[in-house]
Every structure is written in structure tokens, then in C-alpha cells.
Amino acid sequence: MFARVTTYELELGRASEAVESFQPAIELIRGLDGLVEAFFLVERDGQHAMSITLWESIDAMERSRVAASRARTDAAIAVEAEVTSTFEFDVGIRAAAPPVDDGSDEPRAA
């Protein structure tokens, strides 16, 4: 799995507006082949944000570069945010919380 991480500096007080502005960008990315997950995170102080996309293959991540760049740039411009960095990574470890055992012997629905 592969990840693209982009950081942003936001204008003070525009965190909620940034979330709204990035929604169309995330929707566009959701439609790209090979996407596993996408996140847009806003720091509690509202001055920094980050987008993280996970891709099933390096080819899928590479094919998404132009569309992703355009989407994040347009979203950032809309709220006068600055793209401060974009990096691509191999995902070394991915972890999720273990399933909760509710004590029943019945199989869970998928």
C-alpha cells in the first residue's frame, strides 16, 4: 500500500470553511481507481490541515497525481490556504483496532 500526504497552512478561523472546501476534492479522489481511503484532517487550532490518501498500488497513486494536485490546489485557493508539502510513502505498517468481542457465538454480518 502507498500513501500521499499533503500539509496545508490555513488562514486563522477558516478551518470549518476548509473542510467544506476540500469536500469536492475528496469526492473527486474517491472516484479514482485504486484508492483505498482518504482523509482530510484539521488541527484543533485551525491553522494547519493535512490530507492523506491510501492507494492499493504505486501505479494507482502515480496515475492520480495530476487529478489530486489539481483538486488540492483548487480547494486550497478557495480558502486562501497554502500547500506546504506533499510527500509519497510506502506504508510500512497499517493497524486498526481489534474487533470487539461481544460474547456471542453468532457470526457477525459483514
| Domains, the chain | 2-90 (3.30.70.100)
pLDDT of residue 110: 53
pLDDT tens, position by position, 74-90: 999 999 999 999 999 99
- CA separation for the pair 78, 5 (Å, rounded): 20
Tens digits of residue pLDDT in 58-78: 999 999 999 999 999 999 999
| Backbone dihedral angles phi then psi of residue 109, each to the nearest 5 degrees | -75, 140
Phi, psi of 102 (to 5 degrees): -90, 5
Residue 5: alpha-carbon gap to chain centroid: 7
Residue 81 near residue 10, CB atoms below 8 Å = yes
Provide the whole-model pTM: 0.85
What was the pLDDT predicted at 103?
79
Predicted confidence (pLDDT) per residue in 8-47, tens digit: 999 988 899 999 999 999 999 999 999 999 999 999 888 9
